[in-house]
Structure 1
Amino acid sequence: MLTHEQALSLIEAARAECAALGVPMSFAVTDPAGHLVALLRTDGAPWISTDVAQGKAWTAAAYGAPSAAQKEKMEPMPSFASALTAMTHGRFTPQTGAVPVFVAGEPAGALGASGGTGQQDEDVCAAAVAACGWSTS
């Protein structure tokens, strides 16, 4: 599981990536069970982006895969996706923009982002994980 210090390092790496991109974003780091460890909304990021980032991170943690994988899986089943979202009290967010975090090959948590396009969000997350020396699989 990511320590608080590791979560803050991940958030700082993500913040640097979004600053370089010039896109304000919010970031959520969760533990492997999807519980929030750290959250940041950069200046100018939409207020709702914190909730979206948390949902994406929860989804990546729950499945141990990028949240985009669930988006693709759920596209032909919108009713099922809605049911899962309801059953998880809004946490299931099958949208592009989060990645799982593996440290030494073990699941350690997830990083979700919101504020850019889904692909920008995911790219920033993946770059932040790599900058910390960890992997997304």
Structure 2
Amino acid sequence: MTAAIMLQQASTIVDAALANGRAQNLVPLTVAVLDPGGHLVALKREDGSGILRVEIATGKAWGALGMGFGSRELAERAAKAPAFVNAIAAASQGRLVPAPGGVLIRNREGELLGAVGISGDVSDADEACAVAGIEAAGLVAQTGA
């Protein structure tokens, strides 16, 4: 059986990530947690979060899952090889967002459980909230390659 994020773990990640954002006084955030197959497990959009934030948060997580590394690495590759990222964006029908804030979720044994994507503030702050949420659930965050 393949490991996958459980609803309770996903809920903890979302709530802890949002609490971290509030503690830092960030702008309203949207948090999406996907299982290893890219299916949505949990999503919350804070009041006042922009209407595209669901798609952006999901795209950050989906891109991380699709490439097998955090979206920070995808953003770095986009800067170095924009044609490659354009090609994978086309191959994914535009479903990936190459910006920090998409973080792979692993258990202590290193098994992939899913990914979290956050959108709302600057990408570095989004990513920091994702890591805080994952760690609050007792899991391991992978932000890059």
TM-score by length of structure 1 reads 0.93
Structure 2 counterpart of 1:111: 116
2:132 alignment partner, one of 116, 123, 127:
127
Q: Does the 8 Å CA contact 2:77/2:85 hold for their aligned counterparts?
A: no
Distance in 2, Cα, partners of 1:82 & 1:73: 11
* Paired residue total: 137
Distance in 1, Cα, partners of 2:10 & 2:25: 22
Distance in 2, Cα, partners of 1:72 & 1:7: 27
**1:22 counterpart = 2:17:** no
Moved more, 51-60 or 13-22: 13-22
**1:60 counterpart = 2:67:** no
1:45 alignment partner, one of 46, 49, 60:
49
Give the counterpart letter for 1:17 in structure 2: N
Root-mean-square deviation (CA, aligned residues, Å) is 1.3
Q: Does the 8 Å CA contact 1:29/1:57 hold for their aligned counterparts?
A: yes
Q: Could you say what secondary structure the match of 1:108 adopts?
A: strand
Unmatched segments (≥5 aa) in structure 1: none
Distance in 2, Cα, partners of 1:33 & 1:136: 18
Shift of 1:128: 0.9
Structure 1 counterpart of 2:78: 74
Moved over 2 A (4+): 62-65
1:90 alignment partner, one of 94, 100, 108:
94
Structure 2 counterpart of 1:5: 8
Distance in 2, Cα, partners of 1:34 & 1:40: 17
TM-score by length of structure 2 reads 0.88
Distance in 1, Cα, partners of 2:60 & 2:101: 6
